[in-house]
Amino acid sequence: MRLAILLLLASTLCFAGSWSGFLVDSNCYASEQSNVNKDSSTVDRDMGMEVRYCSPNTDTKIFAVVLPDWDSLKLDSAGNARAAELVRRTSKQRLFAVTVTGDLNHDTVKVDSLSANR
């Protein structure tokens, strides 16, 4: 019984941190990631084009941050609201380099702060 409780608590732990990358439309980027040949690698793909293609606009509601290794982290609802505000304020920008801090739970960040990198 104690072991089960310990495992349950360990699986719900969050990891605080800070991540930098490019802000993208989460749904678009997930679609682009899944729309590949099973045998292809990131070497065979233009990952920069995927980031540019999925650049958010003022209609985007769900965001993610693409890390330098091309993995992505989804943002929680508060992070999505902050990202939407950032995009709205700088809507003429094509690529959004950002730093996000917060707690990581699986592949979603509970956002404490989101800032644009200059």
Helix (H) or strand (E) holding 26: helix 26-34
Domain assignment present for 7: no
Q: Locate tokens 């509970």: which residue?
A: 110
Best-predicted range by mean pLDDT (42-46, 50-54, 73-77): 73-77
Q: Does pLDDT of 39 surpass 70?
A: no
**Mean pLDDT of all residues in the chain?**
84
Residue span of the structural domain in which 102 resides: 14-116
Phi, psi of 27 (to 5 degrees): -65, -40
Domain assignment present for 1: no
> Could you tell me which residues are beta bridge partners of residue 98?
21, 116
Q: Does pLDDT of 7 surpass 80?
A: no
- Tens of pLDDT, residue by residue over 72-116, are 999 999 999 999 999 999 867 778 999 999 999 999 999 999 999
Contact call for residues 107 and 74 (beta carbons, < 8 A): yes
Cα 69 to Cα 6: distance, rounded to the nearest angstrom: 32
Contact call for residues 62 and 99 (beta carbons, < 8 A): no
pLDDT of residue 1: 57
Domain assignment present for 9: no
Domain assignment present for 2: no
